[in-house]
Structure 1
């Protein structure tokens, strides 16, 4: 994945491990001086209780996801600094393209005992590798690792129903509300008082359509890229009483959301030709002055600045209407392979890479619009001060405030949100969106569409898709 896409969303692909011959996960065990993780022979210290000990030495492989071509100026000095501090260690930096085969490829590498020592993961891959047992238990093996992160961020970084941390949160793109201030004024809306929640955004869309006469709209019509985040923000219950299968069809909030989307679409408040549009359609129309609201990820501002420089100074930024969906952060992670031959050195490098100083080196690079997870990084003036009305500067400040003010979720809330994210794969999202589109077109009632969507989603869930 390129960085612009990387910060917009994590990859949502199949998590089944059986295709790699793992049959439900790797098993760790210790015997004598050695141990096994899956079929891999590892040092006894890699598994079981007690922190890793030893020296920071040997060769470790550090794998990023589509970063090496553009960010050597960031990571080469970080690697050099670590090696200078620890002369006995060599860090070999490699890069993965992060394509649709990313998760299956890393699972296959893990089963073959070749998983990189320190590896950059998206959420779905972290879930899969945690289920398979191939990531180091940081709570047991590197108990100091979590102290540098925002407490709410660290609390949410657990996977596959485990209470243990198997990865460190690294960076991500926080949601903000991006809008064209001139179009807002033309539609009779106050840029200083933008929508504050999902249904407020829908109300604004209705007002915009009436004022513009169809010359411009609030946003695109496609439900595909709003569904999961919107539903989480408004409190839709994804699962039925068993907590394992989807049961959203009868949820009042889900019905209200689909009903409102259908009303807006049929009234022309959403552009009719964007019902099944590609993600680029939103960017293109916003840049052309045809949409009031842009993409919710702060990285979108880079696209506006590069492709519509005359529009950029007219862009406003406010807290995201989906701010309530911040229960579990979805970004990029750094994990240590439980199969590492130099696990102590690998854990030390992962901690060094994700500390505040080194996160700031990355997030300050002008080619990115991302946010750090280290608590001290968000105290830097880069995030706490605003340079005039510059949208990027405003977005950084808004994002930092959201990250720091977001309350720590309960273990039950975290588990529920992680289960939703794990179950809502690409196939499920498409299936639900297809039914919502039928309701928007008036071919089904919202209740009928949701019932059909729930049935299809459960079929896909049972099939591991």
Structure 2
């Protein structure tokens, strides 16, 4: 069973909802036909066993996160199409700004039994709402809900209820992608073959060492700040970052982590990274655009940035699959669609959630030239829009690569709180400067990070 760990802020949220969950997570009926979920009185049909059924009718509220300004036409079209199919149903669309207090506010809405019927949420919010019983258990309420989605994404998109049971409480929606990007001209200058980029993290380090020897400080492999590579590199190397129960960090106990730190230290000393980038927050996209980095950011949206701002560099930008290493697949946190157990029109809400996330509607949005997103349904990813690439345009090539990658990608991305990440990075920076051994730095980083888990921050 996969284990997920709440970040510090979410731990506090769960503590706030203890009194609410004490009322039960469903199944406790009453004489008037009601049950409870997360302390809220709900229809018995929304909880317990048995698939959800009923007419698609009535008014529901659909909430997105910071999408209305740029994608009003798309969502209004989806809503209109749904209402045309179901003339007795009406969908009211609201949009949340999605700021730093998003999860707290949504949990507060749930505690007040006013959660929107259909809601767009991220991983952190899905964790909090599922734990406290505020989202439909789709395994019981819609047993066939997973059919449209890629097997890996659906299988991994589960979250724990209060008793620890992992359930499907959300429908996967859109996500970003991950690729390797590189300056083909600089790779060639360094004696590397752009047609054969590295396939592992440590293989990438080997190539970076060659770049350092050939560049003489005129260009670099990538920036030095470890924050740009953690925890992505570690997950790809299949380093055991957390214990099985998710309650403590264990990365220092895996010898592969020390090899990674030793590799970063060696590269920093050799000049594969700018000396002034160890603790800087400079954007690698900007440095890549200046023709000074061999390897660029891994987000495909970066290619749009380079195309618009540095067309000369864009023309010599290569794209390849991300380093899969020991893990064998990529990980990423998608956006989700959940249905509230407190919905008075749950059948309608569930029908709209499934309509919004079906293959046709996901593909239509992915084709919008103003957005770089990738769908979660198999049929969408198989469309010629993703699979038929003509010419050598970097962005088109990236779209095909990511579409194939999404078929095996999981939602098992490990999220570190800012405090945890800072504590870990600070120690690794000391190792890279030669002030500590790799293992000593990792032991101290693990100790400090575990203190933060215990403190819930």
Tell whether the structures are fold-level matches, with TM greater than 0.5. yes
Q: Say which SS state the counterpart of residue 94 (structure 1) adopts.
A: strand
Deviation at 1:246, TM superposition (A): 1.4
Q: Say which SS state the counterpart of residue 311 (structure 1) adopts.
A: helix
Q: Say which SS state the counterpart of residue 253 (structure 2) adopts.
A: coil
How far apart in 2 are the matches of 1:317 and 1:244? 37
After TM superposition, the structure 1 = structure 2 runs for residues 100-249 of structure 1, keeping only pairs within 5 Å, are 100-160=100-160, 162-240=165-243, 244-249=247-252
Deviation at 1:18, TM superposition (A): 4.1
Q: CA 1:181–1:164 in 2, change beyond 3 Å: closer, same or farther? A: same
TM-score (norm 1): 0.90
Per-residue CA deviations over 1:230-284 (Å, capped at 9, x if unaligned) read 1111111123577632122131100001111111112221111111232x52011
Kept in 1, the 8 Å contact 2:20–2:39? The answer is no
Deviation at 1:140, TM superposition (A): 0.7
What is the aligned partner in structure 1 of residue 99 from structure 2? 99
What is the aligned partner in structure 1 of residue 3 from structure 2? none
Q: CA 1:446–1:37 in 2, change beyond 3 Å: closer, same or farther? A: same
What is the aligned partner in structure 2 of residue 5 from structure 1? none
How far apart in 2 are the matches of 1:25 and 1:444? 48
Q: CA 1:25–1:441 in 2, change beyond 3 Å: closer, same or farther? A: farther
Q: CA 1:81–1:240 in 2, change beyond 3 Å: closer, same or farther? A: closer
Per-residue CA deviations over 1:386-433 (Å, capped at 9, x if unaligned) read 1211111111111122233x38x8xxxx8xx57xx26x3332122111
Deviation at 1:439, TM superposition (A): 1.0
How far apart in 2 are the matches of 1:131 and 1:66? 25
Verify: 1:31 aligned to 2:35, yes or no.
no
Verify: 1:43 aligned to 2:43, yes or no.
yes
What is the aligned partner in structure 2 of residue 73 from structure 1? 73
Q: Which moved more, 1:355-364 or 1:55-64?
A: 55-64
Q: Say which SS state the counterpart of residue 450 (structure 2) adopts.
A: helix
Per-residue CA deviations over 1:59-96 (Å, capped at 9, x if unaligned) read 21111111111111221111110011111111111112
TM-score (norm 2): 0.92
Deviation at 1:19, TM superposition (A): 6.7
What is the aligned partner in structure 2 of residue 4 from structure 1? none
Q: Unaligned regions of 5+ residues in structure 2, if any?
A: 1-5
Kept in 2, the 8 Å contact 1:304–1:311? The answer is yes
How far apart in 2 are the matches of 1:249 and 1:25? 38
How far apart in 1 are the matches of 2:290 and 2:124? 34
Per-residue CA deviations over 1:287-332 (Å, capped at 9, x if unaligned) read 1111111111212112112221222222111000146374654221
Q: CA 1:295–1:12 in 2, change beyond 3 Å: closer, same or farther? A: farther
Kept in 1, the 8 Å contact 2:386–2:403? The answer is yes
**Count, aligned residues:** 443
What is the aligned partner in structure 2 of residue 343 from structure 1? 346
Q: Say which SS state the counterpart of residue 335 (structure 1) adopts.
A: strand
Kept in 2, the 8 Å contact 1:431–1:453? The answer is yes
Q: CA 1:364–1:286 in 2, change beyond 3 Å: closer, same or farther? A: same
Deviation at 1:23, TM superposition (A): 1.9
How far apart in 2 are the matches of 1:433 and 1:330? 22
Deviation at 1:25, TM superposition (A): 6.7
Q: CA 1:378–1:25 in 2, change beyond 3 Å: closer, same or farther? A: farther
How far apart in 1 are the matches of 2:336 and 2:92? 19
What is the aligned partner in structure 2 of residue 429 from structure 1? 421
Verify: 1:365 aligned to 2:362, yes or no.
no
Kept in 2, the 8 Å contact 1:217–1:290? The answer is yes
Deviation at 1:174, TM superposition (A): 1.7
What is the aligned partner in structure 1 of residue 85 from structure 2? 85
Q: Unaligned regions of 5+ residues in structure 1, if any?
A: 1-10
Kept in 2, the 8 Å contact 1:250–1:447? The answer is no
Deviation at 1:12, TM superposition (A): 6.8
